[in-house]
Copies of this chain bind each other. A is one copy, B any other.
Amino acid sequence: MAVSARRGAPLTPEEIHSTALRLVEEGGVEALSMRKLAAVLDVNPMSLYHHVANKTALISQICQTMAGRLALPDNPGSPWQERLRDLAHAYRRMVQRYPSLWAYIHTHPEAVGDHQGGIWDVLFPILADAGVPEEERTTTADVLHGFVAGLVVTERQGHIGRDDPAQADRVYETAIDMIIRGLPHP
């Protein structure tokens, strides 16, 4: 009802989210403004507020849109070391695709919520197979996540392997080795 005069079809949350995500991909989180987003969507800025509560809710939603695009490896049967490595690689690919947004998540963990979503569902069984006692798995997962997220954000925004991507790959591999070696397993 009452479709925009300039557009043919009404706005949809999906359209808003994917367009916002595109803006963030192109210019970082700080390049996302409600006004710019509205301009791209050819709509009045205030129209957006009929579909999203406010800007932080929008960012939260596109974070989850992004997390939903995470292609999680699923190779039960492989040894846990290999599955952990695959998961770490998937995580890194995701960060490399949306570096700015991932840095945002890293410093605004409330944007994605607590331990729900794909990563944790994959990580916990891996830790179980690695012999981490159940009562330690949550904190172990937090430590690993902190390690990996910190490393990848540093790599992406910092200077690790700035001029030699292969070097960055090697560093990342070494880091995963460190983690596997350091995990408390029998």
Interface residues of chain A, those whose CB is within 8 Å of chain B, are 103, 106-109, 114, 139, 142-143, 145-155, 157-161, 167, 171, 174-175, 177-179, 181-184
Number of copies: 2
* Cross-chain contact A160 with B179 (CB below 8 angstroms): no
In the complex the two chains form, what is the Cα distance from A182 to B174 in whole Å?
A: 9
Q: Which are the 9 A-B pairs with shortest beta-carbon distances?
A: A150-B150, A178-B182, A146-B151, A146-B154, A182-B182, A109-B158, A103-B107, A147-B147, A146-B150
In the complex the two chains form, what is the Cα distance from A108 to B183 in whole Å?
A: 30
Tell which of B106, B174, B181 touches A153, judged by Cβ atoms closer than 8 Å.
B106
In the complex, besides A142-B159, A178-B178, 17 extra interface pairs with C-beta distance below 8 angstroms are: A106-B150, A107-B153, A139-B160, A139-B171, A142-B155, A142-B158, A142-B171, A143-B178, A145-B154, A146-B150, A146-B152, A150-B151, A177-B182, A178-B179, A179-B182, A181-B182, A182-B182
Q: Considering residues A103, A155, A179, A182, which has the most beta carbons from chain B within 10 angstroms of its beta carbon? A: A182
In the complex the two chains form, what is the Cα distance from A175 to B107 in whole Å?
A: 20
In the complex the two chains form, what is the Cα distance from A150 to B105 in whole Å?
A: 12
A102, closest chain B residue (CB): B107
* Cross-chain contact B107 with A107 (CB below 8 angstroms): yes
* Cross-chain contact A171 with B143 (CB below 8 angstroms): yes
Tell which of B114, B153, B177 touches A146, judged by Cβ atoms closer than 8 Å.
B153
Tell which of B108, B114, B179 touches A159, judged by Cβ atoms closer than 8 Å.
B114
Question: Shortest distance in angstroms between A182's beta carbon and chain B's nearest beta carbon?
Answer: 3
